[in-house]
Every structure is written in C-alpha cells, then in structure tokens.
Structure 1
Amino acid sequence: MSQEIRNIEPKAVWNHFADLNAVPRPSKKEERIIQFMVDFGKKLNLDTFVDSVGNVIIKKPATLGMETRKTIVLQGHLDMVHQKNADTVFDFDKEGIKMSVDGDWVKAKGTTLGADNGLGVAAIMAVLSSTDIQHPEIEALFTIDEETGMTGAMGLEGGILKGEILLNLDTEEDDEIGIGCAGGVDVTATRTYKEEETPKNTTGFTIAVKGLNGGHSGMDIIKGLGNANKIMNRILFDGFTNFGLRIANINGGSLRNAIPRESFATVIIDTVSKEPFLFESTQLINTIKEEFLTLEANLEIEIKEVTSPEKVMDLGVQEGFIKAIYAALNGVYRMSPDVSGLVETSNNIARVIVKEGTIKIACLTRSSSESNKWDLANSLRSCFELAGFDVDFAGTYPGWLPNLNSEILVVLENLYKELFQENPNIAACHAGLECGILGQNYPKIDMISFGPTIKGAHSPDERAQISSTQKFWKLFMEVLKNIPEKK
C-alpha cells in the first residue's frame, strides 16, 4: 500500500503525504504531528520553532537569484477530521491511515483520508526539502486545530511572520482560486432531564439511521444531503405524536463540521401499540427513502426490537426536545446576494446526544456575513431556549473578505490561463479557511488559496485525485517562480 502511494508523481508530494498519514493527527491531539514537523525542519537544518499555541513555523532562505522577491508564507493545517464507517475497526489515536489507489484517486480504507489538509502540508514539505525548486524566502506556517475551532490560527501572534504574501493550500477544487470564505460560530444547546423508570407493558426498540454520504458541512451543505439527526427526529416525532414513544438515549452525528451520517436511538412503545407503530414507521421510512433516493441511495433506517431499557426521558422535556430539533434550521439559510451560487449562511445540526439525564445539541453556523451569522445563531438560540435549553456561543471566527485588487491574485490568474488554456474559477467559498483569522493579526498580508481536487472531505468517502494533484503541483511551481519583487 505505502509503496504504491509513494510511486505516484509528483513523488516528493506523495512521499511526504504517506509520511504524514503514518502519524495519528486528530484535532486537539497534535503532539505527535507537531514533533514530527519539528524533527522534519531540524533535520533539514532550517530555522524551526513552535509558537505558544503549538503552530510550527519553518523558515527557508530564498534560492539563488530569488532574494529580491517578496517573502511568502506557505500555510496549511496539521490536523485532520477523524471519521470512519460503522463497520470499520480502526483506532485513530494509534494507527496510521491505510491508503489505496483506485484509478485516478487515492482513498482510505473505511476512514477519512487526511488529504484535507495533508496534501497541502505535503506540498509545502516538498518545497522545504527540495534542492532544485526556485522560490523566494519562505515562512512555512503549519497550524493546529483547524478542524475543531481554528485555535491555532487564532493564537498566532502578530509580528512572528514577516511575509507579504500568504499562499493557503487548503482549497479542494483544482480550477478554483479562493479569495474569500465564511466565518462561523459553534451553537451548543444543553439541558438536563429527569430519568424515569420505564413503564410496564412496553416494548423496546433500537432505531438506526445510517449509510448517508455525510461530507463537509460548509462545502457540501448546498447539496441538500441527508442529516442523520434530522431524519432520526422525524421518526421519533411521528412515534411520539401517534404512539407515545419514549426516548431512552440517542447518539447522533460526530464532528461539528461534518454532516451527520449516522444516528442511533433506543426507545420504548406501549406493547399494545407495537404493531401499528412498526407499520406506520415503515411507511414513513419508505417516504424518507423516496425523498432522498437521488442523493442518498445507500440510506438505511432500521428498527429492531430489543429488551426495554430501564429508564427513559422525562415526558415534558422529551416533547420540548423533539419539537426543538424539528424547528431548528439545518441547511442553507441564505444564498449570497452578490456571488451567484454561493451559500452565504447555513447551519449544520452536527451532534445530538441524549444520555443519563443530559442532552447536548451541537451546531456549526457559518456565514460570510457577520450580521447574518449572528441572525441565524440567535434564531437557533431562541428555538432551543423556548424548549428550556441553555445555549452557548463559542469558537466564533471571522470570514475572509475578498480583495479583487490582490497582486497575488493577478499572478495566479494569469499563470493558470497560460498553463491550462482556460479561465480559473475565482471564488469565495462557504468553508471556513484560516485566512480570515490570520488576517486579523496580519491585516496587510496579501492572501490567496488554491489546491488539488479532493472529494468527500470529512467523510470516509474522502478521496484525492492524482491527476489533479499533478496539475496543482505544476501551478504551484510556477507561482513560486513568479512571486513579485519587493518594493
């Protein structure tokens, strides 16, 4: 497996990517990958250090003849999203990613691949370790915790970097030049409930929603994919309204920036209502599958009879909880009035946990408009507070406002046209890139984002296109040669 990946061109990039993927690197547990990067920089005898929050900075002097060009910051994030299929046995804290080649694509075996943002990091490493690539003075910035809070970018102090141009290598379509992105805020609703003894003469059931595509809660939110938490809630709502269903526990979704692929619940029904409940639930399941047939062909919803749990949720709290989930917006809230086809504001109901007297609902609200970000966040807050929840806003980060007069944008646009005989897609995206945050402490830096094509990021279907990586590398090499002169 590893050798197959290492033989792909450009070998320098794929070899560094294979090395990265051998190191577990979950968000907020980056100690091993930080040390890996420090060792990498020091082995090359390059100026290498770790800042106060854990970002790794590696500096490399300009190559001969490039000393008069502007210093550039090459930036990528070290952490990766950890997702796996339910039937995949894998320990992200201990194992390296298992990869394979499938035609023009590199995939992982039942897990996320880590191409987001491992390929960008690997490309930077390839430049740092090269002896024959022309480039100006480089400050390589490897941030931590991008996927679960962007705390690395937030913690980067002003004055550490001297570069005038920043190349962010975290865009996932090879024909796109990124000039802006959405900001975001975590909206978390919590409350407690009283556990009650399970009534007599009841039958227990488990309900499983699985097989959904999932995906990136920013880039993929426009697709209208199924959200396992919302689908589960439809079934619970119907069972509660018509048959008095009671909830024992729920475990739905995973990470805040991943569209939920799975949700599992344990419930009870009065035994006398067992058959009507199963009949109507089957009808509802068929309806939901029909609704999602085009987008979610592998959707599975299973109801299985089990031994009744010992305790269930307080009835009053349960009613408020189910109705709040039903009312809370999930998906696109507003399209951009200025950029055709761009989602401006959205919400992902990412995580729903009901367990042992505690409820937690975790959402990620995104927007390229600060006012609409808070408008939607307050809408969600109102919905959950009406149901008795405490609501917390955390992890807020700004968007990145496009600069159409960017000097580096002109360079990339012209080089792309020259190399590929077509116009690039110059666009803002609905994902949360670190550029907006980095721009707070470095307001004068000229930023741009580009990268190879990666599909299914944040899901076990994540895959990186080999031919696209070659295209990206070709563009990257030309960009390094054509950095403008210092003024």
Structure 2
Amino acid sequence: MNIELLQLEPKMVWSNFSKLNAIPRPSKKEAMVIAFMMDFGTSLGLDTFTDDVGNVIIRKPATIGLEDRKMITLQSHLDMVHQKNKDTEFDFDTQGIEMYVEDDWVKAKGTTLGADNGMGVAAIMALLESNDISHPPLEALFTVDEETGMTGAFGLKGGLLKGDILLNLDTEEDDEIDIGCAGGIDVTAVRTYNEKKSSFGDIGYAITISGLNGGHSGMDIHKGLGNANKIMNRLLFVGSKYNMRLAWLEGGGLRNAIPRESRCAINISKTQAADFLFELEKVSAEIKTELAIMEPKLEISIQPCNPAKKVLGLSVQSKLIRSIYAAQNGVYAMSASIQDLVETSNNIAKVSVKDGEIEIACLTRSSVDSAKMDLANSLKSVFELAGFEVYFKGSYPGWKPNPNSEILAGLKQIYTELFKKEPRVVACHAGLECGILGQNYPDMDMISFGPTIKGAHSPDERVSIRSVQKFWEFLLAILQNTP
C-alpha cells in the first residue's frame, strides 16, 4: 500500500483508492476486482451480491433517524483504461498501479492512474465502511466493463435496484453537475490483402510517431490534440507519390483513447529515397508547427531499417491511405442547444496492417442518436468505397438532460451554500452509464459529479488532492440533505 497516499485527506477515501489500485482491473478482466468488492461488502456484514454480468451491489441501512429518507444508489465502474508509455514495463493483468504525489496531484508511474473511475469507487467504499457518517438508505452499484462496451450497465436488469435517486460519481471537473451525456457506437472497417514481394533494390525505413498527449476520446476530443493515426497517414500520403510501399502499420489501441503512438515500416526505391526523405522531413516539420501549442513533445522519427520482404499492393495501399485521409476524425458538430458542448465526433482509434489483414477501429459519439448514426454511415461509406467490410457494434444511447430534475435543484443549492458560488450545470461528450441505466429505470432521478481528473485514458492521468476533498465534502452534504 502506498504510504504517501495514506497521509492525504480524506484518509478513508485515499486508503480505499490505494487498496483498489493494488488490484488489476483492466476492462473485460475484472474477476479479481469483483472478488475484492464481494469480500469487502461481506466483511462489513452488508447485503452483497453480483448480478448475471458481474456487477456488484451492496446495500447499507440508513443511520438512525434517516430511515424515512429516499434510498440513494451510488454508482461507479470498477474497470479502468490500461495505457502506458512505450518505455514503461508494466503488466496490467498482474500488477497494481504504482502511484506517487506531486504537489496537488496524485499520479501513476508511466501508466494510467485509474482515478477514472476509481475515485468514485473509493468514495463509495468509504461510505459503506464508515460508522460515524449520517446517511439515508444506501445502495452501491459497481458496474463492470464501462470503458470498452458498458457491458455492466447494459446487462443490469430492471427491478434489481431499489434506489429512488442515482448519483453517478464519474465526471472529471469538480465545479460541474452533469445532467446529460453522449451516446456512442463502435465502427470497425476490415479487409484482407495479398502481400506482394518487394522489388529488388528497395531500401527500408521505420517511421514512428510518439510523444503525443493522448486523452479521453470524448472529454478531450475538442482540444485539438494530435491523433497519431491521422499524422502517420499524412506522412504515408507523401510517400505514395514516390512509389513507397507499406510493409506493416500499428497505430493506437483502445477506442476511447485518442491514439498517442503509431509506427510502420516502408520500402522505397534507392533512386527516389532522397527526394522522399526531403519531403517527409518538410511535412513532419509542418505538422510539428501546426501542433506546437497542444503537442510540444511530438516526435516523428524516420530511421533506416532492413527492407521488408513483403509489402501491400499499390491498389490496396492507395485505398487505405485515401480512406483514412477522408474519414472524419475529431469534432464533427457542436450542440445547438447547449453552449460549448460537442454534439458529434469520431475518434480513429486504431489502425492495424499486418499479415494480410487490415483493421480500422473508430468510436463515434453524439448526444443526438440520429446524428451519431449519420456520422457512422458516413464513415461506413468512405471505407466501403475503399473495399472494406464495415460493421457497427456496441451502440449505446445518450442521457437526455432533464433541467427540471428535483435532485438537480437540491444539489445546486447544497453546492452554492458550501462553496459560495453556483455550480456549472452541463452535459458532457463522454459516455456515462446513466443513459443506459435509465432505460430500465426511467423513474430514477440521476445526477453525475466527481473530483477533478486530468488526462484520463492516458499515462498523464492525474487527480487533484484538493478536489477530492471538495468532492467528499459535497457528497457528505448531499447524503445529509436529500429528502
């Protein structure tokens, strides 16, 4: 357990966060953390069980005098995004997160921190184990696989929860109260190709994109961050004018993370190599200049390597490069009803070209379901024209804002009295589970809030210590003042 974290306030929250982060919990591999939460609940003598998909539910009776209050369901997800720096040796399946404190921030050593959504989980755990905090009847819902499919939320059956109010503790700015979110859909394009023998006299180069910030493909999509897949494709487009031949390509990874790195190997004839390298260096400098403010650590490396024996055919290569060039990446439309809210976007999250197979993985988001499908169909059309087979999967709904929510009015008042200013009432471009949960629990009043977390879904993820203190104070006040 991290001793440094145990000195932070509120100690109950940080202690539980440290215990939680000692448990490997990547998405779709939550068996250990589910067992951990089951042991936690039963050790407290609380009603603890799992449902058919692995969600953990723990119920705690009200403290004396608050038995007649409405039951509050506290909800956070158990899984975390697993991203690491290229020079960090770490196995998310077996290792706990290595954390440290720097000024007001808790960070991880070369990996994602898991504050998304571990801080919410830790706060709920602190409430469940407390003996001196007044609260109404509590129901804790710990969902699984939020980050790569929202499987837990989708699989939760109606009638299982008993709460009247749901507090989702999964947003990342401590001055916001969230009342809506975007829906999303996975768009995947695949095709095969026949590898061709490379030409006699070719020389090889390895191209690497690194040093990008990355980030959350919903919450950070509007920031103008670099997308490693788009940058690499821009360089390959230059090469296509010089009879360059692509051997293999690996860029990005998880759909909900803006890709930070990409690498490939190419062959080119000796007679064209000098001209190709000259223009490639020129375009690389232009890209660095364009992204200098948002991506000051961007690195583009072009190094000689052994020429590949097999490469893509020119026709397939051309269609691949041009389809990625044409595919929408980033913000597609801003909301007309909520100021400064991204309505619709796409993240070209992963591009893989190897062993005769190509895969392009995207995550398309929108707070308007018809706009989500419109952009998804636009991407489908682009990739189908390039000979890809395209399929949709994992579509989930957005959470429609309810500005007249009863619990919203109460939370705004509590926040204002505590912190002497009004909170920002917002909808976000991330995929919160409230929209899905609301399908089976339409009468449950839902609100989302949380501490300030920066760089989620990247190794730069960090959580503000002062913000966690503020978040905890707000949460306790809500429990003592809800009807």
- TM-score tier, shorter chain, comes to over 0.9
| Shift of residue 58, structure 1, vs aligned partner | 0.5
Find the aligned partners of 1:116 and 1:418 in 2 and give their Cα distance: 27
User: For residues 397 and 6 of structure 1, what CA distance do their matches in structure 2 show?
Assistant: 38
More displaced 10-residue stretch of structure 1: 360-369 or 270-279? 270-279
Which secondary structure state, in structure 1, belongs to the residue aligned with residue 222 of structure 2? Answer: helix
Partner residue, 2:443: 444
Task: Output the CA distance in 2 between the equivalents of 1:332 and 1:92.
Answer: 31
Q: Residue 337 of structure 2 aligns with which residue?
A: 338
Per-residue CA deviation, residues 331-367 of structure 1 (Å, 9 max, x unaligned), is: 0000000111000000000000001000000000000
Aligned to 2:2: 2
How far is 1:426 from its partner? 0.3
Q: Could you say what secondary structure the match of 2:206 adopts?
A: strand
Counterpart residue number, 1:305: 304
Partner in structure 2 of residue 391 of structure 1? 390
Measured in 2, the distance between the counterparts of 1:99 and 1:113 equals 7
Which residue does the alignment assign to 2:116?
A: 116
Residues paired across the two proteins, number = 483
Determine the structure 2 residue equivalent to 1:363.
Answer: 362
User: Helix, strand or coil for the counterpart of 2:218?
Assistant: coil
CA distance in 2, matches of 1:162, 1:23: 29
C-alpha distance after superposition, 1:93-140 (max 9, x if no partner): 111000000000000000000000000000000000000111111110
Looking at structure 2, the residues matched to 437 and 109 of structure 1 have their Cα atoms a distance apart, in angstroms, of 34
Could you tell me which residue of structure 2 aligns to residue 62 of structure 1? 62
Instruction: Please give the alpha-carbon distance, in whole angstroms, between the structure 2 residues aligned to 1:2 and 1:291.
Output: 41
Shift of 1:275: 1.1
Shift of 1:272: 1.0
Inter-partner Cα distance in structure 1 for 2:287 and 2:171:
33
Percentage of matched positions with identical amino acids = 65
Which ranges of structure 2 fall in alignment gaps of 5 or more residues?
A: none
Question: 2: CA distance between counterparts of 1:148 and 1:406?
Answer: 29
CA distance in 1, matches of 2:400, 2:179: 7
CA distance in 2, matches of 1:276, 1:319: 20
Distance in 1 between residues matched to 2:185 and 2:449, nearest whole Å: 24
Is residue 264 of structure 1 aligned with residue 259 of structure 2? no
Q: 1:138 and 1:452 mapped to 2: Cα distance?
A: 21
Q: Which residue of 2 aligns with 1:171?
A: 171
Query: Within 2, Cα distance between the matches of 1:133 and 1:337?
Result: 43
Aligned residue type for 1:338: S
Amino acid at match of 2:254: L
Question: Per-residue deviation at 1:233?
Answer: 0.1
Map 1:72-221 to 2 at 5 A: 72-221=72-221
Deviation per residue, 1:364-388 (Å, 9 max, x gap): 0000000100000000000000000
Report SS of the residue matched to 2:392: strand
State the alpha-carbon separation in 1 of the partners of residues 171 and 410 from structure 2. Answer: 17
Report what 1:415 is aligned to: 414
Partners of 1:454 and 1:254 in 2: CA distance? 22
Shift of residue 87, structure 1, vs aligned partner: 0.6
* Structure 1: stretches of 5+ with no match in the other structure: none
CA distance in 1, matches of 2:171, 2:314: 47
Q: 1:309: Cα distance to partner?
A: 1.1
Shift of 1:463: 0.2
Deviation at 1:88, TM superposition (A): 0.7
3-state SS, counterpart of residue 222 of structure 1: coil
1:316 corresponds to 2:312: no
**Aligned partner letter, 2:375:** L
CA–CA distance in structure 1, aligned partners of residues 402 and 277 of structure 2: 56
Q: Distance in 1 between matches of 2:212 and 2:247?
A: 24
TM-score normalised to the size of structure 1? 0.99
**Aligned twin of 1:16:** 16
C-alpha deviation, 1:271, in angstroms: 1.2
Q: Report the equivalent of 2:348.
A: 349
Q: Distance in 2 between matches of 1:465 and 1:319?
A: 46
CA distance in 1: counterparts of 2:266 and 2:152, whole angstroms: 41
The structural deviation recorded for 1:310 is: 1.4
The offset of 1:483, in angstroms, is 1.5
Instruction: State how far apart, in whole Å, the 1-side matches of 2:313 and 2:129 are.
Output: 60
Cα distance in 2 between the residues matched to 1:445 and 1:307: 61
Q: 1: CA distance between counterparts of 2:410 and 2:101?
A: 33
1:251 alignment counterpart? 250
> Is 2:41 aligned against 1:37?
no
Corresponding residue for residue 328 of structure 2: 329
What residue number does 1:71 align with? Answer: 71
Match of 2:462 in 1: 463
- Give CA deviations for 1:180-223 in whole Å, capped at 9, x if unaligned: 00000000000000001111110111100010000000000000
CA distance in 2, matches of 1:180, 1:212: 29
Measured in 2, the distance between the counterparts of 1:340 and 1:177 equals 15
Structure-2-length-normalised TM-score: 0.99
Report the 3-state secondary structure (helix = DSSP H, G, I; strand = E; otherwise coil) of the residue aligned with 1:470: helix
CA distance in 1, matches of 2:277, 2:246: 16
RMSD of equivalent CA atoms:
0.6
Match of 1:429 in 2: 428
User: Which shows bigger deviation, 431-440 or 268-277?
Assistant: 268-277
- Within 2, Cα distance between the matches of 1:472 and 1:83? 26
**Cα distance between partner residues in 2 of 1:135 and 1:411:** 16
SS of the residue aligned with 2:12? Answer: helix
Q: Following TM superposition, by how much is the alpha carbon of 1:405 offset from its aligned partner in structure 2, in angstroms? A: 1.3
Off by >3 Å, runs of 4+ in structure 1:
none
